[in-house]
Amino acid sequence: MNNVNTEVTRDQELYQEKLMSADEAVRKFLPDAHFVTFGCYAGTPVSVSKAYAEAAKDGLFTHPIETYLFRSSAEVVSYFNDPEVLKTIHLQLPFMGGEIGTLLKTARNHLGKVQYPEYIPGHFSHMESGFLTQEGDPDVHMLQVSPMDEHGYFSFGLDGSFSIPAARRAKRLIVEVNEKMPRTFGDGILHVSEVDAIVEHTSDLLVLPNKPAKETDHAIAEHIINYIPDGACIQLGIGGVPDAVGKFLLNKNDLGIHTELLCSSQIDLIRNGNVTNKMKNLHRFHTVFNVSMLPSQEYYDVLDNNPSMLCYPASYVNDASVIEKIDNMVSINSFVEIDLFGQVASESVAWKQITGTGGQVDFVRGASNSRGGKSFLAAASTAKGGQLSKIVPRLNNIVTTARTDVQHVVTEFGCANLAGMSNSQRAKTLISLAHPSFRDDLTEQAKAMGLIK
């Protein structure tokens, strides 16, 4: 007969001492705060976010609180999407994707001349140094974590990004324990002795549904796949092209993963045995990421208690000097527009912010400098059903990636490496990648600009 150990450990005692409701945690630690931060993506605590928004609406805070809210689920955003909440806190937004943009619309429609939620530009790798330099250490950081293990540790699970450094420097920590959050490894661990309040709340994790790849996505992926050898280390962005590339990679062997976002196509490669990470010369045998968004809990369960999954902050994962140390690093991201000089816009449309700067530049630079590495910026050649060309004479948009950083550019009409090309060569090459119906006009524009004769 086995003896069952029923002794209550000190870690379990601390857990019970710090356990409280979301409302209690907010009312205990937030009233005097001036600068607070939340976990990102699936790391945003759902019930604590709701309690925070309700406290703001109820007048708990006597002064505007600098509040950093990252891309989060529609449910979380809905709590903040209230004029009474938005006029009480000063919301700062490092990303404008997903539902976040609705906050700006609500503020503009209902609040008049007030300080709207503000977008903060910056490379993902610089979030930590940028935010914390401007505001100092957070008074309170709030995040979602996995259940405590037998050693007294919580795991950040799916969000290392800014959350790990914010948690290390915050004066107070509120953790929301979600039994659906997978336990991952790396830097993302917290001991129960380090937190100030524990809230228990089970909720579905933020999911990113898979979208079917278009015909152009497959054509683009076919151009890219020939450049990727067995043993390459992969970073994939969001979108149809990266997903299509992931499907073609099912024919490759011994791949590695070092990525900002761990997405479903990469999990498929892991499950299929294409990823071994054994060829990596940094974090060998491990998949490295800083955030993960997947289409279902089934995908998230692949990460749970999996010792090969390492979650680190963006300041490390996205650091170009780290990325370039990985041999045969391949980075694949998308763009909105590129002009004939090679300047790339990837986060805005007609000057309107639609997402964030993210890690595109980080990985373009890192992969380009990797031994045997390559970076790709890829997109269909047209938008709006073929009415608009994504290759334009001059960029009338916010520049994400400078022309001096751009390496391979890919559309359904081919792949070209712009590195080392003159202005004239770039213009001619990019025109060849444009849709045929726009090439004549682009050629005339290039001549008028003095780029080609």
DSSP string of 74-130, one letter each residue? HHHHHHH-SHHHHTTSEEEES---GGGHHHHHHHHHHS-SS---EE----GGGHHHH
CATH class of 10-200: alpha beta
Return the amino acid letter for 50: K
Average pLDDT, the chain: 93
333, 341 Cβ separation under 8 angstroms: no
pLDDT of residue 296: 95
Query: Per mean pLDDT, which of 101-105, 133-137, 412-416 is the most reliable?
Result: 412-416
pLDDT exceeding 70 applies to what percent of the chain?
97
For 359-375, the pLDDT digits (tens) are: 999 999 999 999 999 99
Q: Is-same-fold flag (10-200; 215-448)?
A: yes
Give 6 or 47, the one with higher predicted confidence.
47
pLDDT of residue 239: 78
Measured CA to CA, the distance from residue 246 to residue 243 in angstroms comes to 5
For 183-208, the pLDDT digits (tens) are: 999 999 999 999 999 999 999 999 98
pLDDT of residue 1: 44
Cα atoms found within 13 Å of the Cα of residue 97, Cβ hemisphere only: 16
Note the Cα 237 to chain centre separation in Å.
9
Cβ of 386: how many Cβ atoms within 10 Å? 12
For 21-74, the pLDDT digits (tens) are: 999 999 999 999 999 999 999 999 999 999 999 999 999 998 889 999 988 888
Residue carrying the six token digits 């004769």: 453
pLDDT of residue 132: 73
Confidence label for 4 from pLDDT (cuts 50, 70 and 90)? very low
Arithmetic mean of pLDDT, 268-282:
97
- Nearest 10 degrees: CA dihedral of 287, 292, 293, 296? 60
Residue carrying the six token digits 């401007």: 134
Confidence label for 124 from pLDDT (cuts 50, 70 and 90)? confident
pLDDT of residue 351 exceeding 90: no
First and final CA of the chain: distance in angstroms? 90
Q: For Cα atoms 183, 126, 284, give the angle at the middle one, nearest 5 degrees.
A: 45
Give 113 or 290, the one with higher predicted confidence.
290
pLDDT of residue 3 exceeding 70: no
Q: For Cα atoms 377, 398, 329, give the angle at the middle one, nearest 5 degrees.
A: 25
Q: For residue 418, give both structure tokens.
A: 């712009």
Phi-psi region at 171: left, alpha or beta (left = phi > 0; alpha = psi -120 to 50)? alpha
> Annotated catalytic, 260?
yes
Q: For residue 233, give both structure tokens.
A: 């280390």
User: Which SS3 state, helix, strand or coil, does residue 306 take?
Assistant: coil
Q: What topology does CATH give the domain 215-448?
A: Glutaconate Coenzyme A-transferase (3.40.1080)
Phi-psi region at 322: left, alpha or beta (left = phi > 0; alpha = psi -120 to 50)? alpha
Tell me the chain's radius of gyration from C-alpha atoms: 23
What are the distances in angstroms from CA 434 to CA 252, 286, 335, 360, 438?
Answer: 29, 39, 14, 22, 7
Confidence label for 109 from pLDDT (cuts 50, 70 and 90)? confident
- Nearest 10 degrees: CA dihedral of 227, 229, 231, 237? 30
What are the distances in angstroms from CA 367 to CA 129, 253, 264, 327, 408?
Answer: 22, 19, 22, 9, 11
Q: For Cα atoms 44, 47, 53, give the angle at the middle one, nearest 5 degrees.
A: 85
285, 278 Cβ separation under 8 angstroms: yes
Arithmetic mean of pLDDT, 157-166:
94
Measured CA to CA, the distance from residue 231 to residue 377 in angstroms comes to 21
pLDDT of residue 260: 96
pLDDT of residue 348 exceeding 70: yes
Q: Which residues pair with 330 in a beta bridge?
A: 234, 374
DSSP secondary structure code for residue 6 in this structure: -
Residue ranges of domains in the chain: 10-200, 215-448
Measured CA to CA, the distance from residue 68 to residue 66 in angstroms comes to 7
Residue carrying the six token digits 């019970």: 16
The β-bridge relationship of strands 388-389 and 329-334 is unpaired
In sequence order, what are the residues at sequence separation of 6 or more whose Cβ sits closer than 8 angstroms to the Cβ of residue 387?
none
Catalytic residue among 66, 260, 337, 347: 260
Residue 244: name the closest of 260, 232, 228, 230 by CA. Answer: 228
Arithmetic mean of pLDDT, 140-152:
97
In sequence order, what are the residues at sequence separation of 6 or more whose Cβ sits closer than 8 angstroms to the Cβ of residue 402?
343, 344, 361
Return the amino acid letter for 403: R
Cα atoms found within 13 Å of the Cα of residue 266, Cβ hemisphere only: 30
Q: Phi and psi of 405, rounded to 5°? A: -100, -20
